[in-house]
Amino acid sequence: MKLTQEQLIAIRKKKGLLNISSLELSQKIGISRETLRFVLRGKNNVQTRTYNKLINWLIDDI
């Protein structure tokens, strides 16, 4: 599935607001650090499982 630019920005923004490392974030979301690194660098085509985990993490606090 493809992440939109807005979703990529939201992921980076929330990570920054929480002030957590990529390792901590990847563990919290349940994806590998490498996958998170690709996402944070702008790779927007991810597996459906990864997409769902990222989106669930984004909306977790809402």
Specify whether the CB–CB gap between 60 and 12 falls below 8 A. Answer: no
Q: What six digits make up the tokens of 52?
A: 């769902």
**Domain total for the chain?**
1
Predicted confidence (pLDDT) at residue 19 exceeds the cutoff of 70: yes
Q: Which pLDDT belongs to residue 62? A: 60
Look up the pTM and report it: 0.89
Residue 18 carries which side chain, given as an amino acid letter? L
Q: Which domain holds residue 29?
A: 5-59
Q: Which pLDDT belongs to residue 41? A: 95
Euclidean distance between CA atoms 48 and 10, whole angstroms: 18
Averaged over 21-25, what is the pLDDT? 97
3-state DSSP assignment of residue 20: coil
Mean pLDDT (the chain) is 95
Euclidean distance between CA atoms 12 and 61, whole angstroms: 15
CATH of the domain at 38: 1.10.260
Q: What six digits make up the tokens of 28?
A: 């919290």
Q: Which pLDDT belongs to residue 7? A: 95
Averaged over 20-28, what is the pLDDT? 97
